[in-house]
Amino acid sequence: MTAVEHPRLNLPFCNLELRSSETATEVFDSLRKQWLVLTPEEWVRQHMLHYLTDQLSYPIGLTAIEKGFELNGIPYRADIVTYDRSGSAILVVECKAPSIKLGQKTFDQIGQYNKVIEARYLVVSNGLEHFCVGTDAGQWKQLNHIPPYAA
pLDDT tens per residue across span 31-41 = 899 999 999 99
Residue at 150 is within a domain: no
Residues 123, 130 contacting (CB under 8 angstroms): yes
Average pLDDT over the chain, rounded to whole? 91
Residue 129: CATH number of its domain:
3.90.1570.30
Count: domains in the chain: 1
Q: Is the pLDDT at 2 greater than 60, yes or no?
A: no
Q: What is the per-residue pLDDT for 138?
A: 76
What is the three-class DSSP state of 18? Answer: strand
Residue at 151 is within a domain: no
Residue at 13 is within a domain: no
Residues of the chain above pLDDT 70, percent: 97
Closest C-alpha to 143, from 126, 120, 127: 120
Residue at 125 is within a domain: yes
Residue at 6 is within a domain: no
Residue at 100 is within a domain: yes
Q: What is the per-residue pLDDT for 3?
A: 47
Residue at 80 is within a domain: yes
Burial (0-12, 13-18, 19+ Cβ within 10 Å), 141: exposed
Neighbours of 69 (CB within 10 A): 14
Taking only the tens place, the pLDDT of each residue in 52-92 is 999 999 999 999 999 889 888 989 999 999 999 999 999 99
Range of the domain at 106: 18-143
Residue at 109 is within a domain: yes
Of 1-5, 36-40, 97-101, the range with the lowest mean pLDDT is 1-5
Q: What's the CA gap between 146 and 92, in Å, rounded?
A: 11
Cα atoms in the 13 Å half-sphere on the side-chain side of 14: 25
**Average pLDDT of the segment spanning 32-51:** 94
